[in-house]
Amino acid sequence: MDKELLNNVQGIKDISSKDFAKKLKSSAKTNINGALIGGFVGVVIGIASKQNFYVTGIIGLVLGRLLIKSFTK
C-alpha cells in the first residue's frame, strides 16, 4: 500500500514538473525511431527471404520498438 502511494505521488510530481513535455517528446521520438528501424529491417529481411514483406515489416515494427525501448531504459 505504501509503495503504491509513493508511486502515485511520484507520478503526480513527474506530471507537474516543467520538463514533462520534453520527456514525453523524447520518449515518443525514441519509440518512432525504433519502429522505423525495425520496420525497415523487417521489410529487407522479407524481400531477401522471398517471404511476405508486409508481415515481416509489421513484425519488424513491433520488435524494433520493443528493443529500442528496452535498451533506452
Predicted structure pTM score: 0.66
38/10 Cα distance (integer angstroms): 33
- Burial class of residue 30 (count of CB atoms within 10 Å of its CB; 0-12, 13-18, 19+): middle
The residues spanned by each domain of the chain are: 20-71
Model confidence at 17: pLDDT above 80: no
Which tens digits make up the pLDDT trace of 31-54? 888 888 888 888 888 888 888 878
pLDDT band at 25 (very low <50, low <70, confident <90, very high): confident
pLDDT band at 66 (very low <50, low <70, confident <90, very high): confident
Listed in sequence order, the DSSP H helices in the chain are: 2-16, 20-48, 53-71
